[in-house]
Amino acid sequence: MPYPVIGVSPRQLPEWAALVGHAKELAKTDLRHLFAEDPGRLAWSTFEVGPLHIDLSKHLIRQETLVLLENLARARFLPDAITAMLTGEHINVSEDRAVLHTALRNGANLAGPVDGIDVGVEVEKVLTRMEQFARAVRANQRVGCTGKPFTAIVNIGIGGSDLGPAMVTKALYDFSDKSRAVYFVSNIDPIAIDEVFNRCDPETTLFVVVSKTFGTLETLTNAKAARQWLLKALGEHEDAVEKHFVAVSTNADLVSSFGIDTENMFGFWDFIGGRYSVDSAVGLAIMLAIGPERFRSFLRGFASIDQHLRETPLSHNVPVLLGLLAVWYRNFFGAQSQAILPYSQRLARFPAYLQQLTMESNGKSVRIDGATVDYDTGAVYWGEPGTDGQHAFYQLLHQGTVLIPADFILFAEPLGGPDAQQDLLFANGLAQTRALAFGRDDAELEELGVPAQLRPARRMPGNRPTTTILAQRLTPEVLGALIALYEHSVFTQGVIWGIDSFDQWGVELGKELASELVPILTSAGAPVLDPFDTSTADLVSRYRHMRGRPT
């Protein structure tokens, strides 16, 4: 048992009951009144953490709310859980593993080896090897089998082995080496990798195959296609695969049998989950793009939030507060989703990245002790960059019938382009938080001269909660801090709900069934379909017919 909360439903606690009553009380008021009644509201609801300014003032809370949420966190032994995670206890109960992504950026608090591994030493060894390799590629010292430098890096992975590196590389494009294109392939839709082949020259392309087990179906399928493409062009060179492929994996045997020299294999460990691995060797493509020094800055951003989590009391611990607010809306206001709205085109993939981080972590209906939960857990995370989203789905945020808390991520400085447009971009984001919070009532509409019959349609109820995250500009350090902020918020939610945020068994069943179906779909003779349900059997037959195979 990693900490004493296991085996207890939070709904049984008096701290939960206190929040139920408090939520009913707050439902009778609105944000206009909450601001009016407390002129000092900003003093307890805004925070500086690392390179980020966090404004929680536009939430449906009083200062008392945070106290009640902190009481719940203590009743769920959150401080013990934080210590357990940072010191390498096996808080991933179903897989009997430690959870030490914080060790990747010196954010853990380890007194000694974990599971026989001197974690800090091993992490630094891998980082040093990554840096040596990245410097050699970027200096054109590491070249392809024909002696030409690499002009394209292709990352082949899926899930955490794709979403993280792809999101970060796009976000930090302005800090990258523009002489090399970086592509990401995850989907086994054949067009995905074909599009990359059409953009690349085999002589100058480096493939980074990312798979912890080196057995992931989608990743190995695409890697084999890449190997075939490469050998078709460069097969006369015996070292073609060795020179043009590297691996991020822990399975040396399968890496070697693929044809990759294990000297070009960069490892990570079982205590690093895929969706928490972007700052490990999984981020090799990032380092190749932005360079080792900026990658270290990226890690420092994570570390600033880790230190804050470790050292700051719960009442001022920002990732903890964000996690508690997520619980507040999910369990006491019935919110089913959370919008992530970055006002930066470079962060276009950030909502998708958070989808995996949050929904794969907390999309659970069973507690750590195996009991079925009797309360709601993980919300649906979604979003798009501003201002595009304003002309798409913000209508529902403002006047829809469901409550959707939203996080606005804003920056003071642009990364490029006309400087004046940054003012317009920021004005739009800030205006949306005001409109969502305070709305527009009939008195204001009348003052604006809106006819009475049109006022119901133009009335904005407000009272829609938002978090505002503000930074100077989107840098590697700022991005690392942003990611860590959400990592620890997700962890906080999982502790309150008593679930294992670090396993993902729900992903496995579909993989197993797909493996069973492939030979049925591709067999030369008509397959036996008796074991399948009628729908599956019919769809298999139709697919085979469409592919010209006997049924």
The closest alpha carbon to 406, from 342, 338, 456, 335, belongs to 338
Helix (H) or strand (E) run with residue 432 in it: helix 419-438
Name the catalytic one among 232, 391, 447, 512: 391
Strand ranges of the sheet holding 46-49, from the earlier edge strand across to the other edge: 46-49, 52-55, 466-471, 406-411, 337-342, 380-382
Q: Which 3 state secondary structure label does DSSP give 390?
A: helix
- Strand pairing partners for 408? 341, 468
Q: How far apart are CA 426 and CA 403, in angstroms?
A: 24
Name the catalytic one among 24, 125, 316, 511: 511
Q: What is the DSSP letter of 58?
A: T
Q: How distant, in Å, are the alpha carbons of 94, 465, 485, 551 from that of 323? A: 22, 14, 9, 52
**DSSP calls for 446-480:** HHTT--GGGHHHH-B-----EEEEEESS--HHHHH
Cβ density class 378-387: b for 16+ within 10 Å, e for less:
bbebbbbbbb
What is the 3-state secondary structure of 59-87? CCCCHHHHHHHHHHHHHCCHHHHHHHHHC
Torsion sign over Cα 309, 314, 319, 320: positive
511 is catalytic: yes
Tokens 């006997």 — which residue? Answer: 550
Q: How distant, in Å, are the alpha carbons of 3, 54, 343, 433, 439 from that of 46? A: 31, 6, 20, 15, 22
Q: CB under 8 Å, gap of 24 or more: what pairs does 31-36 form?
A: 31/58, 31/60, 31/437, 31/438, 31/462, 31/463, 31/465, 32/438, 32/462, 34/60, 34/61, 34/62
Q: Identify how many contiguous H helices and E strands the chain contains and give both numbers.
A: 23, 11
Q: How far apart are CA 329 and CA 429, in angstroms?
A: 22
Q: How far apart are CA 471 and CA 474, in angstroms?
A: 7
Name the catalytic one among 70, 218, 360, 487: 360
Helix (H) or strand (E) run with residue 381 in it: strand 380-382
Q: How distant, in Å, are the alpha carbons of 146, 326, 470 from that of 410? A: 46, 20, 5
How many other β-carbons are positioned within 10 Å of the β-carbon of residue 321? 27
Catalytic residue numbers, as ranges: 360, 391, 511
